[in-house]
Amino acid sequence: MTERVVLAYSGGLDTSVAIPYLAEQTGGEVVAVAVDLGQGGEDLEGIRKRALACGAVEAVVVDAREEFAADFCFAALRANALYMDRYPLVSALSRPLIVKHLVAAAKEHGGTTVSHGCTGKGNDQVRFEAGLSALAPELKVIAPARDFAWTRDKAIAFAEEKGLPIDVTSKSPYSIDQNLWGRAVETGFLEDIWNAPTEDVYAYTSDPAQPREADEVVITFKEGVPVALDGRELSPYRLVAELNRRAGAQGVGRLDMVEDRLVGIKSREVYEAPAAIALITAHQELENVTVERDLARFKRGVDQRWSELAYDGLWFSPLMDALDAFIGEAQKHVTGEIRMTLHGGRAVVTGRRSAASLYDYDLATYDTGDTFDQSLAKGFVELWSLPSKIAAKRDRLLG
Protein backbone atom coordinates (compact mmCIF):
# COMPACT_ATOMS: atom_id res chain seq x y z
CA MET A 1 0.00 0.00 0.00
CA THR A 2 1.30 3.46 -0.91
CA GLU A 3 2.40 5.63 2.01
CA ARG A 4 0.31 8.74 2.59
CA VAL A 5 1.48 12.02 4.11
CA VAL A 6 -1.13 14.34 5.65
CA LEU A 7 0.04 17.94 5.25
CA ALA A 8 -1.15 20.96 7.24
CA TYR A 9 -1.80 23.17 4.21
CA SER A 10 -2.12 26.97 4.19
CA GLY A 11 -2.11 27.57 0.44
CA GLY A 12 1.07 29.63 0.51
CA LEU A 13 4.41 29.05 -1.18
CA ASP A 14 6.02 26.88 1.50
CA THR A 15 3.20 24.38 1.95
CA SER A 16 2.40 24.31 -1.78
CA VAL A 17 5.99 23.44 -2.61
CA ALA A 18 5.91 20.85 0.17
CA ILE A 19 3.35 18.75 -1.72
CA PRO A 20 5.59 17.56 -4.59
CA TYR A 21 8.68 17.73 -2.38
CA LEU A 22 7.18 15.39 0.21
CA ALA A 23 6.02 13.05 -2.54
CA GLU A 24 9.60 12.87 -3.85
CA GLN A 25 11.18 12.45 -0.42
CA THR A 26 8.79 9.77 0.84
CA GLY A 27 7.66 8.12 -2.38
CA GLY A 28 4.12 8.49 -1.07
CA GLU A 29 0.95 10.44 -1.76
CA VAL A 30 0.11 13.74 -0.11
CA VAL A 31 -3.26 14.64 1.42
CA ALA A 32 -3.56 18.40 2.02
CA VAL A 33 -5.67 19.62 4.96
CA ALA A 34 -6.66 23.28 5.25
CA VAL A 35 -8.58 24.47 8.32
CA ASP A 36 -10.77 27.57 8.31
CA LEU A 37 -10.24 29.27 11.67
CA GLY A 38 -11.96 32.50 10.71
CA GLN A 39 -8.81 34.04 9.27
CA GLY A 40 -10.87 35.76 6.57
CA GLY A 41 -9.82 37.05 3.18
CA GLU A 42 -9.00 33.60 1.83
CA ASP A 43 -10.72 31.68 -0.96
CA LEU A 44 -10.85 28.25 0.65
CA GLU A 45 -12.17 26.56 -2.46
CA GLY A 46 -9.31 28.17 -4.36
CA ILE A 47 -6.89 26.83 -1.76
CA ARG A 48 -8.34 23.34 -2.18
CA LYS A 49 -7.95 23.48 -5.96
CA ARG A 50 -4.39 24.81 -5.61
CA ALA A 51 -3.43 21.86 -3.42
CA LEU A 52 -4.74 19.46 -6.06
CA ALA A 53 -2.95 21.36 -8.82
CA CYS A 54 0.30 21.08 -6.84
CA GLY A 55 -0.04 17.30 -6.77
CA ALA A 56 -2.11 16.40 -3.72
CA VAL A 57 -4.20 13.26 -4.19
CA GLU A 58 -6.81 14.61 -1.77
CA ALA A 59 -7.51 18.13 -0.51
CA VAL A 60 -9.67 18.63 2.55
CA VAL A 61 -11.01 22.00 3.73
CA VAL A 62 -12.50 21.99 7.22
CA ASP A 63 -14.85 24.75 8.39
CA ALA A 64 -13.80 24.89 12.05
CA ARG A 65 -14.83 28.46 12.80
CA GLU A 66 -17.54 27.70 15.34
CA GLU A 67 -15.51 24.90 16.90
CA PHE A 68 -12.49 27.19 17.24
CA ALA A 69 -14.54 29.95 18.84
CA ALA A 70 -16.49 27.75 21.25
CA ASP A 71 -13.92 25.16 22.31
CA PHE A 72 -10.64 27.05 22.06
CA CYS A 73 -11.16 30.83 22.13
CA PHE A 74 -13.80 30.66 24.86
CA ALA A 75 -11.76 28.15 26.85
CA ALA A 76 -8.95 30.71 26.80
CA LEU A 77 -11.38 33.46 27.73
CA ARG A 78 -12.62 31.59 30.82
CA ALA A 79 -8.95 31.33 31.83
CA ASN A 80 -8.30 35.03 31.07
CA ALA A 81 -5.41 33.61 29.06
CA LEU A 82 -2.64 36.14 28.49
CA TYR A 83 0.89 34.78 28.10
CA MET A 84 3.34 37.04 29.95
CA ASP A 85 0.21 38.96 31.04
CA ARG A 86 -0.17 40.40 27.53
CA TYR A 87 -0.37 37.93 24.62
CA PRO A 88 -3.86 36.44 24.06
CA LEU A 89 -2.54 33.20 22.52
CA VAL A 90 -3.55 33.93 18.93
CA SER A 91 -1.47 31.23 17.21
CA ALA A 92 -1.14 28.95 20.22
CA LEU A 93 -4.91 28.32 20.34
CA SER A 94 -5.17 27.32 16.70
CA ARG A 95 -2.47 24.64 16.63
CA PRO A 96 -4.19 21.98 18.78
CA LEU A 97 -7.36 22.30 16.70
CA ILE A 98 -5.39 21.90 13.47
CA VAL A 99 -3.66 18.87 14.99
CA LYS A 100 -7.05 17.38 15.87
CA HIS A 101 -8.18 17.63 12.24
CA LEU A 102 -4.86 16.36 10.89
CA VAL A 103 -5.26 13.23 12.99
CA ALA A 104 -8.87 12.81 11.81
CA ALA A 105 -7.74 13.17 8.17
CA ALA A 106 -4.95 10.65 8.70
CA LYS A 107 -7.46 8.10 10.00
CA GLU A 108 -9.92 8.77 7.18
CA HIS A 109 -7.41 8.77 4.34
CA GLY A 110 -4.94 6.16 5.56
CA GLY A 111 -2.17 8.57 6.47
CA THR A 112 0.94 7.22 8.16
CA THR A 113 2.89 10.50 8.33
CA VAL A 114 1.95 14.08 9.18
CA SER A 115 3.81 17.12 7.90
CA HIS A 116 3.86 20.79 8.88
CA GLY A 117 5.69 23.87 7.64
CA CYS A 118 7.22 25.03 10.93
CA THR A 119 10.87 25.92 11.35
CA GLY A 120 13.18 24.82 14.15
CA LYS A 121 13.26 28.27 15.74
CA GLY A 122 9.60 28.71 16.60
CA ASN A 123 7.00 27.48 19.06
CA ASP A 124 4.67 25.92 16.50
CA GLN A 125 6.80 22.86 15.81
CA VAL A 126 6.39 21.96 19.49
CA ARG A 127 2.66 22.66 19.47
CA PHE A 128 2.08 20.45 16.43
CA GLU A 129 4.26 17.58 17.50
CA ALA A 130 3.35 17.55 21.19
CA GLY A 131 -0.29 17.44 20.14
CA LEU A 132 0.34 14.64 17.68
CA SER A 133 2.25 12.68 20.32
CA ALA A 134 -0.77 12.89 22.60
CA LEU A 135 -3.49 12.14 20.03
CA ALA A 136 -1.76 9.78 17.58
CA PRO A 137 1.74 8.74 18.69
CA GLU A 138 1.87 6.14 15.92
CA LEU A 139 2.08 8.84 13.22
CA LYS A 140 5.49 9.88 11.92
CA VAL A 141 6.26 13.58 11.49
CA ILE A 142 8.15 15.42 8.75
CA ALA A 143 8.89 19.15 8.92
CA PRO A 144 10.57 20.11 5.62
CA ALA A 145 11.60 23.62 6.66
CA ARG A 146 13.32 22.19 9.73
CA ASP A 147 14.32 18.65 8.79
CA PHE A 148 15.58 19.39 5.26
CA ALA A 149 16.80 22.99 5.79
CA TRP A 150 14.20 24.11 3.28
CA THR A 151 14.79 27.84 2.66
CA ARG A 152 12.58 30.28 0.76
CA ASP A 153 15.12 30.51 -2.07
CA LYS A 154 15.06 26.73 -2.46
CA ALA A 155 11.27 26.75 -2.35
CA ILE A 156 11.02 29.37 -5.11
CA ALA A 157 13.50 27.52 -7.33
CA PHE A 158 11.66 24.23 -6.78
CA ALA A 159 8.29 25.85 -7.56
CA GLU A 160 9.63 27.28 -10.81
CA GLU A 161 11.22 23.96 -11.74
CA LYS A 162 7.94 22.11 -11.19
CA GLY A 163 5.78 24.84 -12.72
CA LEU A 164 3.57 25.06 -9.65
CA PRO A 165 0.52 27.38 -9.94
CA ILE A 166 1.56 29.78 -7.17
CA ASP A 167 2.85 33.36 -7.06
CA VAL A 168 6.52 33.31 -6.12
CA THR A 169 7.35 36.89 -7.07
CA SER A 170 5.57 38.93 -4.38
CA LYS A 171 6.37 38.58 -0.72
CA SER A 172 5.16 40.45 2.32
CA PRO A 173 8.05 41.79 4.39
CA TYR A 174 6.38 40.18 7.39
CA SER A 175 5.56 36.70 8.60
CA ILE A 176 1.85 36.73 9.41
CA ASP A 177 -0.44 34.25 11.14
CA GLN A 178 -4.07 35.13 11.70
CA ASN A 179 -7.33 33.63 12.82
CA LEU A 180 -10.57 34.64 14.52
CA TRP A 181 -8.86 35.38 17.85
CA GLY A 182 -6.29 37.75 16.37
CA ARG A 183 -3.34 38.40 14.11
CA ALA A 184 0.39 37.90 14.73
CA VAL A 185 3.06 39.76 12.73
CA GLU A 186 6.84 39.32 12.93
CA THR A 187 10.14 39.46 10.96
CA GLY A 188 11.20 42.10 8.47
CA PHE A 189 12.12 45.46 9.95
CA LEU A 190 10.30 44.48 13.15
CA GLU A 191 13.28 42.30 14.07
CA ASP A 192 15.08 45.51 15.06
CA ILE A 193 13.29 46.06 18.36
CA TRP A 194 14.00 49.81 18.23
CA ASN A 195 11.87 50.20 15.09
CA ALA A 196 8.30 51.30 15.72
CA PRO A 197 5.52 49.47 13.85
CA THR A 198 4.12 51.33 10.87
CA GLU A 199 0.44 51.41 9.94
CA ASP A 200 0.92 48.87 7.14
CA VAL A 201 1.60 46.24 9.81
CA TYR A 202 -2.04 46.33 10.91
CA ALA A 203 -5.12 44.85 9.25
CA TYR A 204 -7.58 44.03 12.05
CA THR A 205 -7.46 47.44 13.73
CA SER A 206 -7.80 51.08 12.70
CA ASP A 207 -5.39 53.76 13.89
CA PRO A 208 -6.54 54.51 17.47
CA ALA A 209 -5.22 58.09 17.21
CA GLN A 210 -7.75 59.03 14.54
CA PRO A 211 -10.76 60.94 15.92
CA ARG A 212 -14.06 59.04 15.86
CA GLU A 213 -17.19 58.57 17.93
CA ALA A 214 -16.94 56.08 20.79
CA ASP A 215 -18.80 52.77 20.59
CA GLU A 216 -20.65 51.38 23.61
CA VAL A 217 -21.35 47.65 23.84
CA VAL A 218 -23.05 45.43 26.43
CA ILE A 219 -21.68 41.89 26.61
CA THR A 220 -23.81 39.16 28.20
CA PHE A 221 -22.04 36.18 29.80
CA LYS A 222 -23.39 32.84 30.97
CA GLU A 223 -21.06 30.80 33.21
CA GLY A 224 -18.05 32.67 31.86
CA VAL A 225 -19.00 32.38 28.18
CA PRO A 226 -20.23 35.38 26.15
CA VAL A 227 -23.61 34.71 24.57
CA ALA A 228 -24.92 38.09 23.40
CA LEU A 229 -23.93 41.60 22.31
CA ASP A 230 -26.34 44.43 23.10
CA GLY A 231 -29.01 41.84 23.89
CA ARG A 232 -28.62 39.99 20.56
CA GLU A 233 -27.79 36.33 21.02
CA LEU A 234 -25.03 35.23 18.65
CA SER A 235 -23.14 32.02 17.97
CA PRO A 236 -19.58 31.97 19.35
CA TYR A 237 -18.03 32.64 15.94
CA ARG A 238 -20.47 35.43 15.06
CA LEU A 239 -20.04 37.08 18.43
CA VAL A 240 -16.24 37.20 18.20
CA ALA A 241 -16.34 38.30 14.56
CA GLU A 242 -18.77 41.13 15.36
CA LEU A 243 -16.69 42.30 18.31
CA ASN A 244 -13.54 42.10 16.18
CA ARG A 245 -15.18 44.49 13.76
CA ARG A 246 -16.42 46.94 16.38
CA ALA A 247 -13.41 46.92 18.68
CA GLY A 248 -11.03 46.86 15.72
CA ALA A 249 -12.67 49.98 14.29
CA GLN A 250 -11.70 51.72 17.55
CA GLY A 251 -8.09 50.51 17.44
CA VAL A 252 -8.54 48.16 20.40
CA GLY A 253 -6.15 45.25 20.83
CA ARG A 254 -2.80 46.41 19.43
CA LEU A 255 0.19 44.87 21.20
CA ASP A 256 3.93 45.26 20.57
CA MET A 257 6.06 43.02 22.78
CA VAL A 258 9.23 41.00 23.15
CA GLU A 259 8.22 37.55 24.36
CA ASP A 260 10.01 34.47 25.61
CA ARG A 261 9.67 31.67 23.11
CA LEU A 262 9.52 28.10 24.29
CA VAL A 263 12.76 27.26 22.44
CA GLY A 264 14.67 29.72 24.64
CA ILE A 265 15.06 32.80 22.46
CA LYS A 266 13.30 36.15 22.70
CA SER A 267 11.17 37.29 19.78
CA ARG A 268 9.59 40.63 18.90
CA GLU A 269 5.93 40.20 18.00
CA VAL A 270 3.20 42.63 16.99
CA TYR A 271 -0.34 41.43 17.67
CA GLU A 272 -3.85 42.61 16.90
CA ALA A 273 -6.59 41.02 18.99
CA PRO A 274 -9.52 43.43 19.27
CA ALA A 275 -12.24 40.99 20.33
CA ALA A 276 -9.92 38.95 22.53
CA ILE A 277 -8.70 41.95 24.52
CA ALA A 278 -12.20 43.40 24.87
CA LEU A 279 -13.70 40.07 25.97
CA ILE A 280 -10.93 39.25 28.45
CA THR A 281 -11.24 42.73 29.96
CA ALA A 282 -15.01 42.27 30.33
CA HIS A 283 -14.71 38.73 31.67
CA GLN A 284 -12.15 39.70 34.30
CA GLU A 285 -14.46 42.45 35.55
CA LEU A 286 -17.45 40.13 35.75
CA GLU A 287 -15.31 37.71 37.76
CA ASN A 288 -14.47 40.60 40.10
CA VAL A 289 -18.19 40.97 40.75
CA THR A 290 -19.19 37.31 41.04
CA VAL A 291 -16.21 35.24 42.26
CA GLU A 292 -15.39 34.97 45.98
CA ARG A 293 -12.08 36.53 47.06
CA ASP A 294 -9.98 33.45 47.88
CA LEU A 295 -11.26 31.56 44.83
CA ALA A 296 -10.40 34.57 42.66
CA ARG A 297 -6.91 34.81 44.12
CA PHE A 298 -6.22 31.13 43.52
CA LYS A 299 -7.69 31.26 40.02
CA ARG A 300 -5.27 34.00 38.96
CA GLY A 301 -2.41 31.54 39.46
CA VAL A 302 -4.33 28.84 37.60
CA ASP A 303 -4.98 31.26 34.73
CA GLN A 304 -1.28 32.01 34.40
CA ARG A 305 -0.34 28.32 34.38
CA TRP A 306 -3.13 27.56 31.87
CA SER A 307 -1.74 30.25 29.56
CA GLU A 308 1.77 28.81 29.81
CA LEU A 309 0.57 25.29 29.02
CA ALA A 310 -1.34 26.50 25.96
CA TYR A 311 1.62 28.57 24.78
CA ASP A 312 4.01 25.67 25.33
CA GLY A 313 1.96 23.26 23.23
CA LEU A 314 0.60 21.13 26.10
CA TRP A 315 -3.09 21.53 25.27
CA PHE A 316 -3.61 17.76 25.33
CA SER A 317 -2.08 17.08 28.75
CA PRO A 318 -3.34 15.80 32.11
CA LEU A 319 -2.56 19.08 33.84
CA MET A 320 -4.53 21.07 31.23
CA ASP A 321 -7.50 18.73 31.74
CA ALA A 322 -7.31 19.25 35.51
CA LEU A 323 -7.03 23.03 35.21
CA ASP A 324 -10.00 23.09 32.83
CA ALA A 325 -12.04 21.21 35.43
CA PHE A 326 -11.12 23.75 38.11
CA ILE A 327 -11.88 26.70 35.83
CA GLY A 328 -15.24 25.20 34.92
CA GLU A 329 -16.16 24.99 38.61
CA ALA A 330 -14.95 28.57 39.17
CA GLN A 331 -17.19 29.86 36.35
CA LYS A 332 -20.51 28.59 37.76
CA HIS A 333 -21.59 32.06 38.87
CA VAL A 334 -19.83 34.19 36.23
CA THR A 335 -23.12 35.19 34.65
CA GLY A 336 -24.26 38.73 33.97
CA GLU A 337 -23.66 41.78 31.81
CA ILE A 338 -20.72 44.11 31.31
CA ARG A 339 -21.03 47.49 29.61
CA MET A 340 -17.90 48.74 27.83
CA THR A 341 -16.82 51.82 25.93
CA LEU A 342 -14.61 51.10 22.93
CA HIS A 343 -12.61 54.16 21.98
CA GLY A 344 -9.08 55.40 21.34
CA GLY A 345 -7.54 51.94 21.38
CA ARG A 346 -9.04 51.04 24.75
CA ALA A 347 -11.87 48.85 25.99
CA VAL A 348 -13.06 50.41 29.25
CA VAL A 349 -15.65 48.84 31.55
CA THR A 350 -18.31 51.38 32.59
CA GLY A 351 -20.99 49.16 34.10
CA ARG A 352 -21.62 45.68 35.47
CA ARG A 353 -24.67 43.78 36.73
CA SER A 354 -25.36 40.19 37.73
CA ALA A 355 -27.98 38.22 39.62
CA ALA A 356 -25.00 36.32 41.09
CA SER A 357 -23.20 39.48 42.21
CA LEU A 358 -21.33 39.44 45.52
CA TYR A 359 -21.35 43.24 45.63
CA ASP A 360 -23.64 44.42 48.45
CA TYR A 361 -24.51 48.10 48.16
CA ASP A 362 -25.63 48.34 51.77
CA LEU A 363 -22.28 46.99 52.97
CA ALA A 364 -20.21 49.06 50.54
CA THR A 365 -21.87 52.45 50.93
CA TYR A 366 -20.44 55.21 53.13
CA ASP A 367 -23.80 57.00 53.19
CA THR A 368 -26.81 56.66 55.48
CA GLY A 369 -28.08 53.10 55.46
CA ASP A 370 -24.61 51.55 55.81
CA THR A 371 -25.10 48.08 57.35
CA PHE A 372 -21.40 47.39 57.94
CA ASP A 373 -20.70 47.21 61.70
CA GLN A 374 -17.46 49.19 62.02
CA SER A 375 -17.21 48.38 65.73
CA LEU A 376 -16.08 44.88 64.74
CA ALA A 377 -13.11 46.17 62.76
CA LYS A 378 -10.85 47.10 65.69
CA GLY A 379 -10.68 43.58 67.09
CA PHE A 380 -10.35 42.10 63.60
CA VAL A 381 -7.34 44.29 62.81
CA GLU A 382 -5.67 43.39 66.13
CA LEU A 383 -6.08 39.65 65.57
CA TRP A 384 -5.13 39.84 61.90
CA SER A 385 -1.86 41.63 62.68
CA LEU A 386 -1.04 39.60 65.80
CA PRO A 387 1.35 37.08 64.11
CA SER A 388 3.36 39.91 62.56
CA LYS A 389 3.38 41.78 65.89
CA ILE A 390 4.72 38.73 67.75
CA ALA A 391 7.40 38.09 65.08
CA ALA A 392 8.51 41.72 65.15
CA LYS A 393 8.84 41.57 68.96
CA ARG A 394 11.01 38.45 68.68
CA ASP A 395 13.23 40.06 66.04
CA ARG A 396 13.83 43.07 68.27
CA LEU A 397 14.78 40.84 71.21
CA LEU A 398 17.26 38.91 69.05
CA GLY A 399 18.78 42.07 67.64
**For residue range 40-98, what is the model confidence (pLDDT) as tens digits?**
767 888 889 999 999 999 999 999 999 999 999 999 999 999 999 999 999 999 999 99
Determine if residue 43 is labeled as part of a ligand binding site: no
Cα–Cα distance between 291 and 143 in angstroms, integer? 45
175 has catalytic annotation: yes
- What is the predicted pLDDT for the residue at 296? 98
Share of the chain above pLDDT 90, in %: 78
63 has catalytic annotation: no
Confidence of residue 164 (pLDDT cuts 50, 70, 90): confident
| Annotated active-site residue in 36, 133, 146, 175 | 175
Residue 227 neighbours by CB under 8 Å, 6+ apart: 220, 221, 233, 234, 239
Determine if residue 117 is labeled as part of a ligand binding site: yes
Predicted confidence (pLDDT) at residue 150 exceeds the cutoff of 80:
no
95 has catalytic annotation: yes
Phi and psi angles of residue 264, each rounded to the nearest 5 degrees, phi first: 105, -5
Q: Minimal CA–CA distance to 177: which of 246, 226, 127?
A: 127
Determine if residue 9 is labeled as part of a ligand binding site: yes
Predicted confidence (pLDDT) at residue 170 exceeds the cutoff of 60:
no
Determine if residue 127 is labeled as part of a ligand binding site: yes
| Annotated active-site residue in 4, 65, 78, 124 | 124
Determine if residue 199 is labeled as part of a ligand binding site: no
- What is the predicted pLDDT for the residue at 161? 80
Q: Could you say which architecture CATH assigns to the domain 176-353?
A: Alpha-Beta Complex (3.90)
Least confident of 28-32, 88-92, 116-120, 335-339: 116-120
* Helix pair angle (293-311, 318-330), 10° resolution: 150
Q: Do residues 56 and 32 touch, judged by C-beta distance below 8 A?
A: yes
Least confident of 158-172, 178-192, 278-292, 357-371: 158-172
| Annotated active-site residue in 95, 254, 268, 352 | 95
124 has catalytic annotation: yes
- What is the predicted pLDDT for the residue at 168? 58
Decide if 4-173 and 176-353 have a common fold.
Answer: no
Domain boundaries, the chain: 4-173, 176-353, 371-397
Confidence of residue 171 (pLDDT cuts 50, 70, 90): low
Q: 4-173 belongs to which homologous superfamily?
A: HUPs (3.40.50.620)
Determine if residue 267 is labeled as part of a ligand binding site: no
